Amino acid sequence: MKITFFSALALTQANANNSPDLHDVPITKRMLDAMEKNSTGSDFSSLKWLEYEACMAMVSAEFDFDLLESTDALFSGFLQWGRTNGTGVTEPPQPTEDGADQWDQPQNYLEHFPSHVAPNDDNLPGASETLVVQPCNYNSNVAYYESARSLCNSARYRDFSMPSSTVLLLAASFTSLGTGSAFFHGSGTQLGNRIDNAPIGQIALTAHQVAVSSLRSNDVVASCRSQEDIDEKVTQNGTDVIARFNHIFADNDITAWDQAILDLGETFQSDYKVTFSCIVTTIARIVLPERVGTVLLRFLCTVFGFEQDKIDFLFNEFDAQLQTLLVEKTEEIGEISGDDKMLLLKHGLGVLLKIGYAMFWQEELFVGPWLTSTHANEIGAFLQPFVNVLADKMTGYEHPPMVRTGHDIYPNCKVCRRQEPHSKWHEQSSVGMIDLVYLTDDVDILLRSGKLGPASTFTAEDLLTDQIESFLDTDEATCLVNGAALGISCIAELWFGKDAFQEFKCDSSNTPPASCLKDHIASHSTPTSQIISMCVQKNNPASSDEIWDAEIFSSCMVDALPTSKGDFWRFLQFALN
C-alpha cells in the first residue's frame, strides 16, 4: 500500500481530532510535550508532531514494522529504566557477550544538569522518577526528527536516483537516531550508547550502498567490510538492517535489546567512521587522479586518527577493488568530464564542511579548550547558520529556513546551542547527514549516466588537481597533520590570534556573540579576522533575534570570503565559484 505524505498527514490529523483520552496520545508525543514544557511551559507544536507522525505513517505503510510503535517502545524503555532505579529490570542485569553491563554509564559529556522528565506521572508513568542526565543533549535530538521529516518531504518532490523505499528507510533511521540518542543522553547508559550509535552506522552504510549500487557486484566494496569478516559473518544490506533494528524494540522486552543490537551489529559494518571513509574514498577516486587522491586520503586518515588496521583495510582491500570497478564503469559510460568531477567535489566539500563543523562540537574526535569556553560556545552557535549557508552554496542542496538557521528546531534550542557543545553536534550532524544522503545519490546519478551537471566542453580536471594540491600545502593543512585537537587550536590561532578560545572577556549576559566576536578580533590583522569584523558590523544592532542576525552575517561572509588573499581561502573561493 502506497501512502503519500499529504494523505498520511490527513489521516494523523483525523486521528488526533478523534482522540478521546490523553493516554491515547502516543508516548513519543507525550515525551516531546514534556521536553517543551520543561523549556517553555507549553506543549510541543501540534503541527510539527502531525508532520512527524505522517512521516512515520508513510514508512510503516511501506514496510513490515510500525515506526511509531518502535519509537514509543524506545521511550517506554527509557521510562522503565527510570522506574527501576536505573537498572531497567527488577533482577540484577546480566552482562552481554562483550562483557559490558548494559546499564553502565560509559561516557561523560560536559553537560550534567540532571532534571526529571516531568514533575509528576499524570501523563507519563515513571516520568517523575526518571532523571534526564543531560537535558540539552537530550532535547537536541529532536533535530533528527526534522531530518526524517525532510526526507519524507523529499521523497515527494526530489528526483532521487535511489528507490523511494530507500529514502523512507533512511527517514526511519533518522527517527531511530533521534529517539535512541535521547535515550542515551537521558540515561547515560551503555544500552543507550548502543541505540544511539547503531542508526548512524545504518545511515552511513545505506548511503554508501546507494553510491556504489551501479558498480559490478563486489562484496568488499558493497559492504565496506574486509573479506575475512564477510567469510566469517552473515552480511546484510543497510536497508535490511534498518528494518531489523526497528523490530528489536517493539518485539522484545528491554532486557533483550542490548544483546539484540550487538548481534545485529555483527551483520554489517557498524563502525560508521569506516563507512564514511569508504564514501570519501569513492568520491576521491571518481574526481581525482590516483596520486593526488592517495595523498588526500592518507592526509584525511591522519586528521581523523584512523588506526593502522582500518588504514590497511581501506587501501589494501576496499580501495584496490573499488578502483578496478571504476575502470570497468568508465569503459561502460565513458570518461567523466572535468566539470562533472568538479561539481561532485564541490558537493562533497559542502557536506564535509557541515559534518566537520558538527564533529568540532562532538566532544569525541576534536577535543580542545573551545568545548569549555562559554564564549567559544556562544560564537560557535552564532556561526552555525553561516556554515550551513556556505555549505549549501557549494552543494546547491535546498533546506527549509528552520534547518539552515536552526530557528526553533528543538525545545529550548536557543539556550542549548549557546551553552552545550554536544547539542550543536546533534543539530549540525542532523542536516549534515541529510546532505550525505543527497551526495551519495549524486554519485549514483553520475556513475549511471556519466553526467551530473549541464553539458560542457570545458575540462577542469587540471585546475581541480592543482587546487587540491595547493590546499594540502596550506598552513591549515599542516596544522591538521598534527592531529585533530591540536590542529583545530593551531588553525584558530592562524585565523583569530593566539589563545583564540580563551581570550573572550566580554560579559555574555550583556553582550551578544556578534559584538563579543567583533571586540575580540578587532586587534588582529589576519584576512579572516578582517572579513569577520566587516560582516559583524553589517548586522542590524536593533534586531532582537540573534538567529536572523546570524543569517545576515552568513550572507555577508559568503560574499566576502573570495576577497581573502590566503591560500586556504583561495581554495574556498574555488569551491564556491
pLDDT tens digit sequence for 93-144: 444 454 444 545 555 677 778 889 999 988 898 899 898 989 999 999 999 9
pLDDT at position 543 is: 44
Beta bridge mates, 132: 115
Q: According to the model, what pLDDT value does residue 304 have?
A: 85
pLDDT in tens, 535-577: 666 654 444 444 445 556 666 766 665 544 455 656 666 666 6
Query: In this prediction, what percent of the chain has a pLDDT beyond 70?
Result: 74
Nearest Cα residue to 213 out of 171, 275, 163: 163
Tell me what the mean pLDDT of segment 200-204 comes to: 97
Band (82; pLDDT cuts 50, 70, 90)? confident
Compute CA 478 distance to the chain's CA centroid, rounded to the nearest angstrom: 26
Question: What are the respective helix, strand and coil percentages of the chain, to the nearest 5?
Answer: 70, 0, 30
Examine the pLDDT at 523 and tell me if it is beyond 60.
no
User: 350, 212, 199, 329: which is closest to 278 by C-alpha?
Assistant: 212
Q: Tell me the per-residue pLDDT of 377-434, one tens digit each, with 9 for 90 and over.
A: 988 888 888 888 888 988 999 888 888 788 889 999 999 999 999 999 999 999 999 9
**Neighbour tally for 475: CB within 10 Å:** 13
| pLDDT number for residue 308 | 95
pTM of the model: 0.86
Handedness of CA 174, 56, 68, 142 (dihedral sign): positive
Neighbour count for residue 43 (Cβ, 10 Å) = 14
pLDDT for 372 equals 87
Whether 309 has a pLDDT exceeding 60, the answer reads yes
Q: What's the CA gap between 91 and 549, in Å, rounded?
A: 54
- How far from 341 is each of 35, 274, 331, 348, 442, CA to CA, in Å? 45, 23, 17, 10, 11
Report pLDDT for 457: 47
pLDDT of residue 468: 78
What is the tens place of the pLDDT at every residue in 224-257?
999 999 999 989 999 999 999 999 999 999 989 9
Whether the Cβ atoms of residue 568 and residue 536 lie closer than 8 Å to each other: no
Q: What is the pLDDT of residue 94?
A: 45
**Ordered alpha helix ranges (H), 212-337:** 219-223, 227-232, 238-251, 257-265, 272-287, 290-303, 308-312, 320-333
Sign for the pseudo-dihedral over CA of 345, 348, 354, 359? negative
* Average pLDDT of the residues of the chain: 83
The per-residue pLDDT for 553 is 63
SS3 66: coil
Q: With contact defined as beta carbons under 8 Å apart, do 171 and 145 qualify?
A: no
Residue with C-alpha cell 573499488?
322
Nearest to 328 by CA among 285, 275, 274: 285
Least confident of 31-45, 274-288, 349-363, 456-470: 456-470
Where residue 311 falls among pLDDT bands split at 50, 70, 90?
Answer: very high
Query: For 426-479, how does the pLDDT look when each residue is reduced to its tens digit (9 = 90+)?
Result: 999 999 999 999 999 999 999 999 998 765 544 556 666 777 777 787 777 887
The pLDDT assigned to 480 comes to 77
User: What is the predicted pLDDT for the residue at 476?
Assistant: 76
pLDDT of residue 405: 81
pLDDT, residue 109, reads: 72
The model's confidence at residue 210, banded by pLDDT at 50, 70 and 90, is very high
pLDDT at residue number 292: 92
What pLDDT band is residue 92 in, cutting at 50, 70 and 90? very low
439 residue type, one letter: L
